[in-house]
Amino acid sequence: MGVRRGALIVLEGVDRAGKTTQCKRLVQALRDSGKEAEMMRFPDRTTMIGQLISSYLEKKSNLEDHTVHLLFSANRWEQVPLMKKKLEQGISLVVDRYAFSGVAFTSAKPGFSLEWCQNPDVGLPKPDLVMFLQVNPAEVAGRGGFGDERYETSVFQRAVQQKFEQLIKDPSVNWKVIDAARSIEDVHTEIKTLSENAINIAENQPIGELWK
Ligand code: 2DT
Protein backbone atom coordinates (compact mmCIF):
# COMPACT_ATOMS: atom_id res chain seq x y z
CA MET A 1 0.00 0.00 0.00
CA GLY A 2 1.29 3.47 -0.87
CA VAL A 3 1.86 6.36 1.53
CA ARG A 4 -1.32 7.94 2.75
CA ARG A 5 -1.40 11.53 1.63
CA GLY A 6 -1.34 14.47 4.01
CA ALA A 7 -4.20 16.94 4.35
CA LEU A 8 -4.30 20.52 3.11
CA ILE A 9 -5.57 22.59 6.00
CA VAL A 10 -6.15 26.35 5.63
CA LEU A 11 -6.76 29.03 8.23
CA GLU A 12 -8.50 32.17 7.05
CA GLY A 13 -9.88 35.30 8.70
CA VAL A 14 -9.45 39.04 8.92
CA ASP A 15 -6.38 40.61 10.51
CA ARG A 16 -5.74 39.94 14.23
CA ALA A 17 -8.01 36.88 14.34
CA GLY A 18 -5.03 34.79 15.51
CA LYS A 19 -4.35 32.81 12.32
CA THR A 20 -0.57 32.75 12.58
CA THR A 21 -0.57 31.84 16.29
CA GLN A 22 -3.06 29.03 15.66
CA CYS A 23 -1.18 27.70 12.61
CA LYS A 24 2.00 27.35 14.68
CA ARG A 25 0.16 25.72 17.59
CA LEU A 26 -1.55 23.30 15.24
CA VAL A 27 1.66 22.20 13.50
CA GLN A 28 3.28 21.60 16.89
CA ALA A 29 0.29 19.63 18.20
CA LEU A 30 0.13 17.44 15.09
CA ARG A 31 3.85 16.71 15.34
CA ASP A 32 3.51 15.93 19.05
CA SER A 33 0.91 13.32 18.16
CA GLY A 34 3.26 11.70 15.65
CA LYS A 35 1.91 13.21 12.43
CA GLU A 36 4.04 14.90 9.81
CA ALA A 37 3.02 18.54 9.39
CA GLU A 38 4.50 21.73 8.00
CA MET A 39 3.37 25.34 7.98
CA MET A 40 3.11 27.50 4.87
CA ARG A 41 1.86 31.03 4.42
CA PHE A 42 0.54 33.17 1.60
CA PRO A 43 1.75 35.51 0.40
CA ASP A 44 5.09 33.71 0.44
CA ARG A 45 7.28 36.80 0.47
CA THR A 46 10.51 34.87 -0.13
CA THR A 47 10.10 34.29 -3.89
CA MET A 48 10.64 36.86 -6.67
CA ILE A 49 6.89 37.30 -7.07
CA GLY A 50 6.57 37.41 -3.28
CA GLN A 51 9.05 40.28 -3.11
CA LEU A 52 6.96 42.33 -5.55
CA ILE A 53 3.91 41.64 -3.36
CA SER A 54 5.76 42.47 -0.16
CA SER A 55 6.95 45.78 -1.51
CA TYR A 56 3.36 46.58 -2.55
CA LEU A 57 1.99 45.67 0.89
CA GLU A 58 4.65 47.79 2.57
CA LYS A 59 3.57 50.67 0.30
CA LYS A 60 7.08 50.90 -1.13
CA SER A 61 5.62 50.40 -4.61
CA ASN A 62 2.27 50.77 -6.32
CA LEU A 63 0.77 48.10 -8.55
CA GLU A 64 -2.42 48.22 -10.58
CA ASP A 65 -5.20 46.33 -8.75
CA HIS A 66 -5.77 43.54 -11.32
CA THR A 67 -2.02 43.08 -11.63
CA VAL A 68 -1.43 42.61 -7.92
CA HIS A 69 -4.37 40.19 -7.73
CA LEU A 70 -2.77 38.03 -10.42
CA LEU A 71 0.60 38.20 -8.66
CA PHE A 72 -0.98 36.89 -5.43
CA SER A 73 -2.48 34.03 -7.44
CA ALA A 74 0.82 33.34 -9.24
CA ASN A 75 2.50 33.27 -5.83
CA ARG A 76 0.23 30.32 -4.94
CA TRP A 77 0.63 28.54 -8.28
CA GLU A 78 4.41 28.68 -8.05
CA GLN A 79 4.19 26.61 -4.83
CA VAL A 80 1.79 23.99 -6.23
CA PRO A 81 4.42 21.43 -7.34
CA LEU A 82 6.02 21.54 -3.87
CA MET A 83 2.65 21.40 -2.11
CA LYS A 84 1.57 18.33 -4.10
CA LYS A 85 4.89 16.63 -3.48
CA LYS A 86 4.63 17.13 0.27
CA LEU A 87 0.99 16.06 0.43
CA GLU A 88 1.81 12.93 -1.54
CA GLN A 89 4.69 12.20 0.85
CA GLY A 90 2.14 12.13 3.67
CA ILE A 91 2.95 15.57 5.07
CA SER A 92 -0.05 17.65 6.12
CA LEU A 93 0.20 21.33 5.24
CA VAL A 94 -1.14 23.99 7.58
CA VAL A 95 -1.55 27.13 5.52
CA ASP A 96 -1.90 30.70 6.82
CA ARG A 97 -4.20 32.31 4.17
CA TYR A 98 -4.93 30.93 0.68
CA ALA A 99 -7.08 31.77 -2.34
CA PHE A 100 -9.95 32.88 -0.08
CA SER A 101 -7.90 35.84 1.21
CA GLY A 102 -7.02 36.52 -2.41
CA VAL A 103 -10.68 36.77 -3.40
CA ALA A 104 -11.89 38.53 -0.23
CA PHE A 105 -9.26 41.28 -0.33
CA THR A 106 -9.45 42.09 -4.05
CA SER A 107 -13.23 41.85 -4.30
CA ALA A 108 -13.46 44.32 -1.39
CA LYS A 109 -12.06 46.89 -3.85
CA PRO A 110 -14.56 48.73 -6.10
CA GLY A 111 -15.27 47.14 -9.49
CA PHE A 112 -14.17 43.55 -8.77
CA SER A 113 -16.66 40.69 -8.90
CA LEU A 114 -16.21 37.59 -6.78
CA GLU A 115 -16.17 35.49 -9.94
CA TRP A 116 -13.41 37.48 -11.66
CA CYS A 117 -11.34 37.24 -8.51
CA GLN A 118 -11.82 33.47 -8.20
CA ASN A 119 -10.87 32.63 -11.78
CA PRO A 120 -7.06 32.66 -11.58
CA ASP A 121 -7.16 30.30 -8.57
CA VAL A 122 -9.54 27.75 -10.15
CA GLY A 123 -7.84 24.35 -10.06
CA LEU A 124 -5.43 24.99 -7.17
CA PRO A 125 -5.11 22.06 -4.76
CA LYS A 126 -8.40 22.09 -2.87
CA PRO A 127 -8.12 22.38 0.90
CA ASP A 128 -9.53 19.42 2.81
CA LEU A 129 -10.55 21.86 5.54
CA VAL A 130 -10.80 25.66 5.69
CA MET A 131 -11.26 27.13 9.14
CA PHE A 132 -12.52 30.69 9.28
CA LEU A 133 -11.43 32.39 12.48
CA GLN A 134 -14.39 34.59 13.24
CA VAL A 135 -13.96 37.66 15.43
CA ASN A 136 -15.80 40.92 15.59
CA PRO A 137 -13.64 44.04 15.54
CA ALA A 138 -14.76 45.24 18.99
CA GLU A 139 -13.78 41.93 20.57
CA VAL A 140 -10.20 42.08 19.27
CA ALA A 141 -9.63 45.79 19.89
CA GLY A 142 -7.54 44.73 22.90
CA ARG A 143 -5.22 42.72 20.62
CA GLY A 144 -3.54 45.96 19.57
CA GLY A 145 -4.01 48.32 16.65
CA PHE A 146 -3.44 47.73 12.97
CA GLY A 147 0.03 47.90 11.47
CA ASP A 148 1.12 50.21 8.69
CA GLU A 149 0.69 47.87 5.74
CA ARG A 150 -1.77 48.37 2.94
CA TYR A 151 -5.33 47.11 3.77
CA GLU A 152 -4.80 47.53 7.52
CA THR A 153 -7.73 49.86 8.21
CA SER A 154 -10.99 49.05 9.95
CA VAL A 155 -13.11 50.24 7.01
CA PHE A 156 -11.36 47.93 4.55
CA GLN A 157 -11.30 45.01 6.99
CA ARG A 158 -15.07 45.28 7.41
CA ALA A 159 -15.49 45.06 3.62
CA VAL A 160 -13.17 42.03 3.57
CA GLN A 161 -15.19 40.38 6.35
CA GLN A 162 -18.36 40.74 4.23
CA LYS A 163 -16.65 39.11 1.26
CA PHE A 164 -15.51 36.21 3.43
CA GLU A 165 -19.13 35.79 4.57
CA GLN A 166 -20.16 35.40 0.93
CA LEU A 167 -17.37 32.89 0.24
CA ILE A 168 -18.31 30.79 3.28
CA LYS A 169 -21.73 30.11 1.71
CA ASP A 170 -20.04 28.06 -1.03
CA PRO A 171 -20.88 24.41 -0.24
CA SER A 172 -18.13 23.08 -2.53
CA VAL A 173 -15.58 24.08 0.12
CA ASN A 174 -15.34 22.39 3.55
CA TRP A 175 -15.67 25.53 5.68
CA LYS A 176 -15.75 25.50 9.47
CA VAL A 177 -16.40 28.76 11.27
CA ILE A 178 -14.45 29.01 14.52
CA ASP A 179 -15.33 31.46 17.29
CA ALA A 180 -11.89 33.01 17.67
CA ALA A 181 -12.87 35.46 20.40
CA ARG A 182 -12.19 32.71 22.97
CA SER A 183 -8.83 31.95 24.62
CA ILE A 184 -5.91 30.77 22.46
CA GLU A 185 -6.13 27.39 24.18
CA ASP A 186 -9.86 26.87 23.58
CA VAL A 187 -9.57 27.89 19.93
CA HIS A 188 -6.58 25.58 19.53
CA THR A 189 -8.43 22.59 20.97
CA GLU A 190 -11.26 22.97 18.47
CA ILE A 191 -8.89 23.50 15.53
CA LYS A 192 -6.85 20.44 16.48
CA THR A 193 -9.91 18.16 16.66
CA LEU A 194 -11.25 19.36 13.31
CA SER A 195 -7.81 18.98 11.72
CA GLU A 196 -7.28 15.43 12.99
CA ASN A 197 -10.64 14.45 11.51
CA ALA A 198 -9.74 16.07 8.20
CA ILE A 199 -6.40 14.24 8.12
CA ASN A 200 -8.12 10.90 8.72
CA ILE A 201 -10.61 11.48 5.92
CA ALA A 202 -8.12 12.97 3.42
CA GLU A 203 -5.67 10.07 3.55
CA ASN A 204 -8.00 7.87 1.51
CA GLN A 205 -8.98 10.52 -1.04
CA PRO A 206 -7.30 12.12 -4.05
CA ILE A 207 -6.30 15.81 -3.84
CA GLY A 208 -9.22 17.88 -5.12
CA GLU A 209 -9.28 20.91 -7.42
CA LEU A 210 -10.52 24.20 -5.99
CA TRP A 211 -13.66 25.78 -7.52
CA LYS A 212 -13.72 23.30 -10.41
P1 2DT B 1 -0.05 38.86 6.16
O2 2DT B 1 1.27 38.51 5.53
O3 2DT B 1 0.08 39.64 7.43
O4 2DT B 1 -0.97 37.67 6.27
O5 2DT B 1 -0.72 39.96 5.20
N6 2DT B 1 -3.69 39.19 0.71
C7 2DT B 1 -3.24 37.94 0.98
C8 2DT B 1 -4.25 39.52 -0.52
O9 2DT B 1 -4.64 40.66 -0.75
N10 2DT B 1 -4.37 38.54 -1.46
C11 2DT B 1 -3.93 37.25 -1.23
O12 2DT B 1 -4.03 36.40 -2.12
C13 2DT B 1 -3.34 36.94 0.05
C14 2DT B 1 -2.86 35.55 0.33
C15 2DT B 1 -4.09 39.95 3.07
C16 2DT B 1 -0.87 39.77 3.86
C17 2DT B 1 -1.88 40.77 3.31
O18 2DT B 1 -2.13 40.43 1.95
C19 2DT B 1 -3.52 40.25 1.72
C20 2DT B 1 -3.21 40.70 4.02
Ligand 1, CB cutoff 6 Å, lining residues = 42-43, 57, 72, 97, 101-102, 105, 151
CA of 7 to the centre of ligand 1 (A): 22
Which mutation among 47, 97, 156 tests ligand 1's pocket best, with the greatest number of atoms within 8 A of CB? 97
AA letter at 18: G
Residues 73-117 have pLDDT tens digits of 999 999 999 999 999 999 999 999 999 999 999 999 999 999 999
What is the interface pTM, i.e. ipTM, of the complex?
Answer: 0.99
pTM of this structure: 0.97
AA letter at 121: D
Q: So what CATH class is 8-202?
A: alpha beta
Beta-sheet strand order (sheet of 92-96):
37-41, 92-96, 8-12, 129-134, 175-179
Query: Among 2-16, 78-92, 120-134, 190-204, where is mean pLDDT lowest?
Result: 2-16
Q: Domain locations in the chain?
A: 8-202
